[in-house]
Amino acid sequence: LIAADGQISGNKNTNNLLESVSFLRGPEDTCFEGGVFPAILSFPSDYPLSPPKMKFTCDMFHPNIYPDGRVCISILHAPGDDPMGYESSAERWSPVQSVEKILLSVVSMLAEPNDESGANVDASKMWREDREQFYRLAKQIVRKSLSL
């Protein structure tokens, strides 16, 4: 599957139709530009009623990506009201979402981190307090993603 913006997603293993590997390109005019970042989308057995989970399989340093690579973004949160009152139900998962919409949302998240609900506290802090250092680390990740 190739999304409208050129992001690529497809089955990782024909024996497991509930997992898909995606390759996301770093968004233009950002510190992630030029990178190609692999991630796995894992679909639950009750998909599309429940959202998939997404995890980068490469090094990533970003406020909305846990240190182990798991993505924290509203569109992948269970449907309904947020118990913490931070997200509206309209921002969260609904069965009408598509893989393309997920990939576009994650690329958008790479371009515009939400440091107020950080999954990676160190990245959130650096994004707020030392943007130049954050950009340097992101550029290193881009080079590593390209095996340079």
Q: Using CB atoms within 10 Å of the CB of residue 77, give its burial: 0 to 12 exposed, 13 to 18 middle, 19+ buried.
A: middle
Taken as a whole, the chain contains a residue count of 148
> What are the residue ranges of helices labelled H in 4-130?
99-111, 121-129
Q: How many Å apart are CA 74 and CA 91, to the nearest integer?
A: 6
The one catalytic residue in 72, 103, 107, 137 is 72
Neighbours of 27 (CB within 10 A): 17
72 catalytically annotated? yes
What residues are annotated to the active site?
Answer: 72
